[in-house]
Amino acid sequence: MEDNPAPTGRPLMDVTTFKSNFGITWATETYLCYEVEVREGDAWVPVEGLQGLLRNQVFCHAELCFLPGVSAWGLDEGKQHRLTWYLSWSPCPDCALKLVEFLRKNSHVQLRIFAARIYTKLDGYEDGLRRLQDAGAKLAIMTPKELQHCWEKFVDNQGQPFQPETELLENIGAQCQRLENILRVGGHLVNEE
């Protein structure tokens, strides 16, 4: 990350970091870009100041680094809130279970996860994703639309347009199919949004 602040004063990811973590090079870091919204009537409205990014730490995955902040924000339990995450890797099985627990304890919070790729290094990753979906999380692979959004909102892009490589577009299709297959096993259905 660079120290160049966004218009709101928050740090932005540099272009190289974005491309290596959300592109086709598959870096080992996990980055999590997030936005928080509150339900106002029929619309979701961004909560001022609750957008940003973080990455995994030595002993803490990005998802688990994020969760303590939610209680510190004091989200009104009388209102419905939606967290939207853009992750470079989908949650591992352990993180998925912690997120299931979080969602069960926070019925006023919805979670949408857009991942650049599926984390497959630990056994049980498929079951973890299905459990997360069963707990109400919406899971999807990042498409060019979400990548463009991240480029504009979380990257110090110096005014340059987002231009995905052909290989990235092909990978998106393969990752989408893989996630759909995982979530359909045992009668599970893919969440649509």
Which residues belong to the active site?
63
List beta partners, residue 140.
114
As to burial, measured by CB atoms within 10 angstroms (0-12 exposed, 13-18 middle, 19+ buried), residue 157 is: middle
Q: Is residue 100 within 8 Å of 131, Cβ to Cβ?
A: yes
